[in-house]
Structure 1
Amino acid sequence: MKCHRLNELIELMQPEWQKEPDLNLMEFIAKLANEAGYNGELAELTDDVLIYHLKMRNSQKDDMIPGLAKDQEDDFKTALLKARGIIK
């Protein structure tokens, strides 16, 4: 895991974990994994699952994933021209 990903995970996890101080770290991670729909072994849980789940945890079901929202275009023509590099 890269250092910046660890920092991002800690920044996202800290305020959420403070809401449930009775849980130890592994219990909290297991709870996050369960909420995200992860069914595998915790040892195989990726940081991506935790990061994206924490980013979307308090959002509405129809909210767009933050990484995709920045590229959203309402107009198909504009999206196509941007994808082809014609406009920025």
Structure 2
Amino acid sequence: MQQDKQPDYHPVVFRDRSAGYAFLTRSTATSDQTIEWDDGETYPVVDVEISSESHPFYTGKARTVDSEGRVARFERRYGTPEGTADEDATG
């Protein structure tokens, strides 16, 4: 493997502005901005719009699909098809 073909993989701080959260990880991302981290070292910082701290899926604020309500709404609108299991059980 050629060493000069590999990207520079280094510590980078990703900062989620909407959640006020930052985390240090290794990445190939670069930035002109820097930040002093808790360990006293200075690292490049990349601002992101959404992270696991602000994403609805990870925060538990994601909308759930109401599939039962959709079926009931369909049956109210178009009626139940003839020969369904409910009619056979009662008839």
Q: TM-score surpassing 0.5?
A: no
Structure 1 or 2: larger helix share?
1
Higher relative contact order (CA 8 A, sep 6+): 1
Structure 1 or 2: larger strand share?
2
* Larger Rg belongs to: 2
